[in-house]
Amino acid sequence: MNEIAVARLIRFPIVAGALLAAPYAAAKAPETVGSIELGYSAVMSHTVQFSKSGTQFNYVKNGGQDILFPFARADVTLRTSDKDRFVFLYQPLELNTRVIVRDELKVDDVTFASGTPVDFKYSFPFYRFSWLRDTWSDESTKIALGGSLQLRNARIEFTSVDGKQHRSNRNVGPVPIFKFQSRTKIEDDVWWGTDIDSIYVPVKYLNGGNSDVVGSFHDVSLKLGFPVVSWLDAAFVSRYIGGGAKGTNKTPLRGSDGFSDNQIHTINFSLALNLKN
């Protein structure tokens, strides 16, 4: 992620949050209307395979993903009633590496010989629209339940450094998700909380598409928050993002038999800045 992209992410929740906060300034208690997270991401495991005759490729062991990557995300919250909130999230996920492959690598109908320098692009950003309803609260704890509609925008590419060999797999599609959120006050406005977005479902029943793919996605975070000023608090965040999809598409791209298996698991550590109304 370059400096321009990070700067845009930082401006996004501040400007949008300030605009959305105005109609709700008279709310009984301050709450987050925009946030930005910045930190780093570690890939715990990541494998892909395209076509049944293709190589099951381990990005961490053989693809250069054994390093830390920059991590950032931004969201804006709009409260529409005493109990209902809507959240828009943008989450970049860009893992780009260059490695000389030690063993032959076959991706669909393209074969990279052992010793070939290869550029790997794993781009899987997503946009998420969520609805949350406050379902339970007492003096210290609040719990909300709801759902999300996530739009994936995936691009997985393998390119020899000389440009003579290239294979790209791209996919755009909606993913409905269950959502849970909690926040508990500890003392002196210090709090801890969790956010969970999770789904496991056969994609063909989900999308009505021509595939027997089984997919899953999980975004689970633990947060420890503390006040900064009256309109801003911060939180240390540990977050797991992972999941995958495996199956066969009945309308494959040229050069592919339609089979794919993509599984990724990441741990992310960040500092969140939360703009309050």
| More confident position, 22 or 183 | 183
C-alpha to C-alpha distance for 180 and 195, rounded to whole angstroms: 6
How far apart (Å, rounded) are the C-alpha atoms in residues 22 and 17? Answer: 9
Residue-wise pLDDT for 176-193, tens only, equals: 999 999 999 998 889 999
- Summarised one tens digit per residue, pLDDT across range 138-166 is 989 999 999 999 998 999 999 999 999 99
| Alpha-helical segments (H) within 102-176 | none
Structural domains counted in the chain: 1
State if pTM tops 0.75: yes
pLDDT band at residue 222 using 50, 70 and 90 as cut-offs: very high
Domain range for residue 73?
A: 3-276
Q: How far is CA 101 from CA 12, 58, 63, in A?
A: 39, 11, 8
Q: What percent of the chain has pLDDT over 70?
A: 86
Distance CA 148, CA 75 (A): 13
- List strand residue ranges (DSSP E) for 52-165, in order: 57-58, 68-79, 84-91, 94-100, 105-107, 110-112, 117-123, 126-137, 141-160
Tell me the CA distances in angstroms from 1 to 73, 138, 160, 256, 270, one per residue in order: 11, 41, 22, 30, 15
pLDDT of residue 212: 72
- 8: domain CATH number? 2.40.128.100
The mean per-residue pLDDT over the stretch 242-258 comes to 90
